[in-house]
Structure 1
Amino acid sequence: MLKGGSLMSVQDLLTQGKSLREIARETGFSRNTIRKYVRSGMAVQVQPRARRGSKLDAYKPLIHEWMDAGLFNCQVMLQRLRAQGYAGGMTLVKDYVQQFRPPKRQKATSRYETKPGEQAQVDWGICEYIDERGVHRKLPVFVMILGHSRATYIEFTRRCDIHSFLRCFAHAVEHFGGVPKVVLTDRMKTVVLGTNDDRTPIWHPVFLDFALAIGLTPKLCRVRRPQTKGKVERAVRFVKENFWVARRFTDLADLNRQALAWCYEIDQRIHGTTGERPCDLLPQEQLLPLPSPEALAKFLREERKVSMDGFVSFDGVRYGVPWQYSGRTVTVRQLRNQIEIWSEGVRIAVHEKSPRFNGLVRLQGQYSGLDAAQGATGPLPVARQVPMDSVDQRPLSVYAALAEVGA
């Protein structure tokens, strides 16, 4: 016999639409007992309540006409429905239209495969690391990828300025063994300074000189269309997700040694898009010949002024030079991990590139002779005393004539 709570439990399960078999399984009562109470009317099997009409029902044919014509903007629909006498709210319209709304259309693009030697794509990426003191820092990475072979070159720098860009670019073409015909970049400030009235780019003059010197044609990707240089976009992401994650290094030189080894390693793998190894396709690139070292030399040098305490600031580090060059303008160039400082065609100092940022690197014998010269970087205005017999003897008539002229 069902009483109290047991009867209420059966009633709730019947309301949920459960069958007699399911109710018997959940409550432990036999189906005959449950059936008896249902037939006696003590437990009434609830029928689904009839659905009430909606304020939108009369306007649904009109809504379907608009959707067939491509209108799915519910705000516009609501304004038009108000004009037709609709008294409901926006929620009813949105809920009804949502079930018929087509998926968002994506603008399709055709795939473009680059011909051998035709194009390289270049971009900067920013990687984050934790230094030995636990401080979070950022480090730029230069990435170049050849469009046909997918051969890759990466190099980490301290800055994203034009000199770092050209230095990395020169290292990249040396790594590939030639120069591509076209380089595709976005509108980075190290490459383009602005746009002319006819929408042609205003190239950075130093970069333009570099491109002309090595026979390179620079091109910009379309505005707000990064997929036009999608190869290097994916390469930057690949560097961050594959090379950079959990990477350990001691300094920038060690990091770039690891980066170069990684470039050789990934060029030995089968590329997911081409199905070929980049190292096998690289000979097909038909790259332009490498420029002479003299043609590249002037782009790998930077002019710097020596401070009065005998230091040159380069790439965030101060390097010492002989004190005699204080206040002069000198030329600094980086050859891999060496910093050379030149003045008027003479190399005045050589340093190993400092691994630390904002460091100070002294030169051995930097201040030799400073005290004796009293800090003067040029010859002092001095006279010289000579013996009496070496002084010129003049007749007295000469002095008398001079006296008359003065009178």
Structure 2
Amino acid sequence: MGELNMYRQLGIKPNFTRIGEKYGLHRQTVAKYWNQGEEVEDRRRDKASAFDEFRDVIERKAALPGVTKKAIHEFLLDRHPEAGLPKYGSFTKYCRKHGIECASEAEPDAHPRFETPPGRQLQFDWKEGLRMVDVNGEVFEFNVFSAVLAYSRAHRFIYSRTRTEDDLLACLLATFVRFGGIPDEAITDNMGALVTFAGGRRVKSERAWRFAREASFELKLCRASTPQTKGKDESSNRFVNRLLAYDRDFEGERGLIDAIARIEARSNAEPNDTTGLPPAVLFMREKEHLRPVGNLRLLQEMVGDVSVQTVPATMLVRAAGRQWSVPRACIGKKVSVLAMPSGQVRVTLDGEEVAVHDASAAAGPIVYAEDHYVEAMSGKAWFGDSDIREAARANLELLDRLGGE
């Protein structure tokens, strides 16, 4: 028996507005059905979904290897905050209704959970050999340094072009600065930046272990991909798969770095499956058990030559006999400039990395990153409506040919 007929049997006049809201109808339509002795038609299934507008995007992203529904949903929320999209549960129902499935991945190995006390352990690794294309068709091949505090599951993801020992030590130091402390131990597998093999023997990097001693933490190695010892960081690496949803939907290296930062923030804000709490909440408890970074300047000097400089209007800082660009937002602020043995120059502001340059890939005594130069040129009247990025590339090529003069 339909709802209106039930009211007729009881001799009660229904609330047309409430029934209309329930079945996706206008109250006057419900009143017409009532007066004509008819039953209401459930129009809720006919109502368009907020995801319909983005169905092509959803299907295209779902076809990418490694991308999850969670990653696609978060990508849509990030790119279309004005659309008022429903929560993740509604998104999965929409996908089921329209037969949208993500590309399958290999079945993961099962392994038991294990817990460590707060402040005890940091697990870290590389998500290596990533390749993505931006909106302009430019190809980026890069790596992501992934670290997680074992107790709170607080995550740290850092973009890196290469995976050298310089990169590793710089990322570890940046992680300690971000967390505001150092754990008892840091554990990873036999990555090439830490060990080499000669005559069947494992040879440890003296520089890396000296860095660990000065920072007062124990550096431990486990067998590669051993879940019993490094499972929480293997889990954190799965969060990086969300980055694949941004393929062809970011612009330049800066856009890629910003996407990684957003994923890190969401990873720390959403409840963990095991603890039931967001890592950011448990981190407030774990932070009390981390040892302070008491010798930051020494650790920086162990990674490379460090200097503190105030950024001028040219957006250039000095290191290794050359000048290197930083973002426009750094003008007038003090930054730390780290010149590393490999030729890399890393610049941080308030503990956050804002620029990385590679001496081997740059020409001339003045080196501007394209994104930084575009920022500097934006708003300049003499470029009018021309393509600023193309104008920036032309000026950078001229600067290289002139040897920076």
Alignment TM-score, normalising by the size of structure 2: 0.49
The structure, 1 or 2, with the larger RCO (C-alpha pairs under 8 Å, 6+ apart) is 2
Q: Which has the larger radius of gyration?
A: 1
| Higher helix residue share | 2
